């Protein structure tokens, strides 16, 4: 995992990632949100401000394989 982009966290009893590199996020936001809409059960509703939550560790791992 690229520690400059995300920090692991827990939010509402779910695993998550806090977006640490907001410049990277802003440059890739549209593509990331499209990926989330296609691959996560609640789509972009997994994003809460600068945090992304995941229902399963597998979902989080798939996200990190793509964006980490």
19-68 confidence digits (pLDDT tens): 999 899 999 999 999 999 999 999 999 999 899 999 999 999 999 999 98
Residue 44 lies in a domain: yes
- In this prediction the pTM is 0.84
Q: What is the pLDDT of residue 12?
A: 75
In DSSP terms, which residues pair with 14 in a beta bridge?
11
Helix residue ranges, H only, the chain? 22-39, 57-67
- Rounded to whole angstroms, the Cα distance separating 1 from 12 reads 22
The parent domain of residue 34 ranges over 6-67
Say whether pLDDT at 4 is over 90: no
Residue 19 lies in a domain: yes
Residue 45 lies in a domain: yes
Residue 54 lies in a domain: yes
Residue 1 lies in a domain: no
- Give 3's pLDDT tier (boundaries 50, 70, 90): low
User: Based on the structure, what is the number of domains in the chain?
Assistant: 1
Buried b / exposed e across 36-47, counting CB within 10 Å, b at 16+? beeebeeeeebb
């Amino acid at each position: 995992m690229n520690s400059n982009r995300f920090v692991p966290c827990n939010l509402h009893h779910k695993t998550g990632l806090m977006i640490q590199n907001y410049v990277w996020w802003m440059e890739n936001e549209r593509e990331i949100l499209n990926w989330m809409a296609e691959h996560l059960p609640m789509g972009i509703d997994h994003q809460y401000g600068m945090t992304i939550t995941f229902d399963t560790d597998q979902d989080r791992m798939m996200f990190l394989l793509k964006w980490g």
